[in-house]
Amino acid sequence: MSATFELVVSVSPDDIDGQNHVNNTVYLRWVQEVATAHWRSLAPPADQETIGWVVLRHEIDYKTPACLGDEIVLQTWVGKASRATFERFTEIRRRDGRLLSQARTVWVPINTNTGRPARVSDEVRARFST
């Protein structure tokens, strides 16, 4: 398992749905935001310019709702990386440690100029994957 990357966000009024808790689509947005922040924190600038990421699959389990004013800790790490895909895990917790959601996402690296699948260098793979 690679090192865990963490990002803290606060629940805003725009995140709340008709049931008065964070909407499921917001959890999906957070999964993508923390993955992007992790990539930007470790990838060399040249790779950030030439490699983009698209989602092949999201699996999200919702455990406990988040509410307005909650501080949320987003933790992500990369699992298995093959030649064509990277598996990424995300846990979403309230600041008090209560697990709100878990996600597994399969990402595909693409060439930002062509939009076609791209290979990731061994150096970048080593920074992010097991």
Per-residue pLDDT of 94-106, as tens digits, reads 999 999 999 999 9
For residue 128, pLDDT beyond 80: no
The reported pLDDT for the residue numbered 52 is: 95
Domain CATH number, residue 69: 3.10.129.10
Domain with 124, as residue range(s), is 5-128
For residue 122, pLDDT beyond 90: no
Mean of the per-residue pLDDT values for the chain?
Answer: 93
On whether the CB atoms of residues 71 and 95 are closer than 8 A, the answer is: yes
Q: How many residues does the chain have?
A: 130
Cα dist from 56 to 36, 85, 91, 105, 124, whole Å: 15, 9, 19, 8, 20
For residue 8, pLDDT beyond 60: yes
Tell me the sheet residues that pair with 57.
Answer: 106
The reported pLDDT for the residue numbered 67 is: 96
Instruction: Please tell me the total count of domains within the chain.
Output: 1
Quick one: DSSP state of residue 90?
Answer: E
